[in-house]
């Protein structure tokens, strides 16, 4: 298969397997999604979903959260890891949202990425899942699968994102990145597949014998 043929096969197969993929992080508006994605750094979505209800009982909007002491936020989110940095970011970004945006989450990459604790991947998730703008958030898992499937040889997630955007139609980006995530969790895990085990890897590379080592 050529790269374009592999991309078409992935697109069609994932659309068949996951026709309506849900957003993995529980949320009720753009703010709760922003905070949940921030918390998901080096933490599973399942763990974040366990913790956020307690956080929303503490404060569920920027105005209230901006008044909560950082120590109280840190106590709630501690199981997510990196709690000192994340708690400070949550309080600080909440204050900025109140002071500069009237308590609303801004609808723009540059404004989002200027917020404390918010990088390009987090901004991409919010832009795609909260506001419906075409984006292709790439985390380490999508980065790994893109290499196993021969869709990118990028040395980092930035290059992988650019490669995937070139390969897939713009109107498929938002849904496809979720479908890749779900497939990766179910079939092509970091330890459960090495590029030769899961159905997709075998279909794309039936003659592959060696494991694929992910380029970081």
Using the structure block, give the residue that is written with the tokens 């969790």: 185
* Torsion, Cα of 144, 110, 24, 17 (10° steps): -60
Q: Which of 45, 86, 121, 165 is catalytic?
A: 121
13 labelled catalytic: no
Distance CA 41, CA 144 (A): 17
54 labelled catalytic: no
What domains lie within the chain, and their CATH numbers? 3-21+136-204 (1.10.1670.10), 30-130 (1.10.340.30)
Q: Which of 29, 92, 139, 210 is catalytic?
A: 139
The whole-model pTM stands at 0.91
> What pLDDT, in 10s, does the model give residues 73-111?
999 999 999 999 999 999 999 999 999 999 999 999 999
One digit per residue, pLDDT tens: the chain, 216 residues?
A: 899 999 999 999 999 999 999 999 999 999 999 999 999 998 999 999 999 999 999 999 999 999 999 999 999 999 999 999 999 999 999 999 999 999 999 999 999 999 999 999 999 999 999 999 999 999 888 999 999 999 998 889 999 999 999 999 999 999 999 999 999 999 999 999 999 999 999 999 999 999 988 776
């Amino acid at each position: 298969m050529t790269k374009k043929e592999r991309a078409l096969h992935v697109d069609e197969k994932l659309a068949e397997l996951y026709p309506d993929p849900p957003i993995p992080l529980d949320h009720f508006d753009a703010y709760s999604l922003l905070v949940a994605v921030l918390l998901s750094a080096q933490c599973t979505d399942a763990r974040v979903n366990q913790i956020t209800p307690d956080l929303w009982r503490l404060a569920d909007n920027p105005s209230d959260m901006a008044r909560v002491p950082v120590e109280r936020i840190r106590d709630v989110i501690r199981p997510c890891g990196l709690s000192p940095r994340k708690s400070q970011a949550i309080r600080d970004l909440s204050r900025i949202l109140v002071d500069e945006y009237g308590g609303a989450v801004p609808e723009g990459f540059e404004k989002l990425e200027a917020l404390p604790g918010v990088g390009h991947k987090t901004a991409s998730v919010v832009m795609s899942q909260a506001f419906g703008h075409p984006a292709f958030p790439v985390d380490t898992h999508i980065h790994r699968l893109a290499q196993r499937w021969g869709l990118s040889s990028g040395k980092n997630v930035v290059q992988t994102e650019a490669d995937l955007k070139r390969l897939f139609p713009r109107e498929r980006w938002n849904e496809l990145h979720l479908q890749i995530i779900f497939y990766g969790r179910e079939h092509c895990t970091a330890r459960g597949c090495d590029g030769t085990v899961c159905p997709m890897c075998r279909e794309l590379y039936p003659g592959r014998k060696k494991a694929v080592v992910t380029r970081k």
